[in-house]
Amino acid sequence: MSHDKYISPFETRYASPEMQYIFSEDNKFRTWRRLWIALAKAEKANGLNITDEQIAELEAHKDDINYEDAIRREKECRHDVMSHVYAYGLQCPHAKGIIHLGATSCYVGDNTDVLVMKEGLELVQKKLVGVMALLAKFADQYKDMPALAYTHLQPAQLTTVGKRASLWLNELYMDYEEITNRMNALALLGSKGTTGTQASFVELFEGDSARIKAVEASIAAELGFDKVVPVSGQTYSRKVDFQVLSALSGLAQSAMKMCTDIRILANFKEMEEPFEKNQIGSSAMPYKRNPMRCERVCALARYLMVDILNPAFTAGTQWFERTLDDSANKRIAVAEAFLAADSILNILLNVCDGLVVYPKVIRSRVMAELPFMAAENIMMSAVKKGGDRQELHEKLRQHSIAAAAQVKEEGKPNDLIDRVVNDASFGLTHADIDGVLVPEHFTGRSAQQVEEFLNEVIRPVLAAHPEAAGQHAELNV
């Protein structure tokens, strides 16, 4: 590896080889050749003078790209598409005259972009379902374990560890739906010509609209699509890029929220991301177990969420039938959005496959706050023994304020229960109150909600994607 020039961290640290290949030059140029073959087949089927031998010659060289010839030619003509038309023609001398017949550069460029985005979305969907499978297992395992729930990052009521995980999972499910919808909505540009009017094909097919439309349908079918965009200028609408990247941004938002929660829980010592045997948490503090995986997710998510501004501006600067404002920006922004999404999912696969839970810490933190949360239940127990509800409410309020002050101002344990037991007006013993302070009685329908959510929403998705289960990801430093 060269050390004297810039190399993207997506290549060396973050993105998987699979996603890197999808956005590689090799995949792009092989797809160009698939498109030229599809065009030739469609034109032959609709009456143009193209032979089976010419098509066979094109197919024989669809994958062995002569890059040196293309690079040398591009230095002369300064046009990437025509350079590859030339290079393909050197390998296919009998077919060179019909390569790219009637097409403009966006025929290969834009159709390839759509095909590549579809491949990228398929990989994102697969990895996302893998993360969902791991989180579903975790949520099911811990659906009954009481834990503090927070509003405003202040203890509010109790939830369960599994119910909180189901909140993360639900947002990822929303991303799955959006990514799937975007993938299914993709349409090829087709063969629209220089300004979208198909004028070159009108010339080739002598104005026969039926044959012109049949060519587009044939190309789409050859490439695995059932539709092309209904109207266009030279390019497909750049709003498509924005819509696709918006779905990826949604994934980044969900991942950032989840990993921020895990980072806070790590601070509480309730939960941690995986920590390898020989991993060093800090160069200065040997005891540290920094949540570096979740921090990395948050960093990459921030990059991806900001990246969608690029296709937004690109869509707005496409004057009339097309301008080249999109090209340089688009080839960076779209590719890196997918590489970032892939990187995030790789880390989430690793994190969700080894989340560490500390039940005793969780229970201890629950019991420290539960007396406050159970105040009404304690009061009702005292009323059942003959106490005055209004009088007890006021006394309980005062005791709660005093106990909270002791915790916050003196750093002592919560002694609300002792205060209540020592107040004769309540008539309660420690045993009476212990019967009230059962965390499992304060989690509402958390466990049932998790079961219902997994059965009704998540497991049907997992069943539809059996190939996505059991994924793992090794992380670079």
**Residues annotated catalytic, as ranges:** 152, 282
Structure tokens that stand for 2 in this block: 């060269």
Reduced 3-state DSSP string for 124-165? HHHHHHHHHHHHHHHHHHCCCCEEEEEECCEEEEEEEHHHHH
Q: Please state, in angstroms and rounded to a whole number, the distance separating the CA atoms of residues 126 and 461.
A: 11
Instruction: Say if CB 248 and CB 342 are below 8 A apart.
Output: no
Rounded to 5 degrees, what angle do the CA atoms 178, 171, 306 make? Answer: 70
Question: For the stretch 419-457, what's the b/e string if a residue is b when 16 or more beta carbons lie within 10 angstroms of its beta carbon?
Answer: bbbebeebbbeeebbeebbebeebbeebbebbbebbeee
Whole-number Cα distances in Å, 326 to 65, 235, 236, 330: 27, 10, 12, 5
Q: Backbone dihedral region of 427: left (phi > 0), alpha (psi from -120 to 50 degrees) or beta? A: left
Residue 466 C-beta-side C-alpha neighbours within 13 Å: 1
Instruction: Say if CB 341 and CB 15 are below 8 A apart.
Output: no
Q: Please state, in angstroms and rounded to a whole number, the distance separating the CA atoms of residues 423 and 420.
A: 5
Q: Please state, in angstroms and rounded to a whole number, the distance separating the CA atoms of residues 149 and 164.
A: 8
Residue with tokens 């975790």: 138
Rounded to 5 degrees, what angle do the CA atoms 194, 196, 201 make? Answer: 70
Q: Please state, in angstroms and rounded to a whole number, the distance separating the CA atoms of residues 249 and 252.
A: 5
β strands within 221-345, DSSP E: 271-272
Residue 75 has a CB neighbour count (10 Å cut-off) of 8
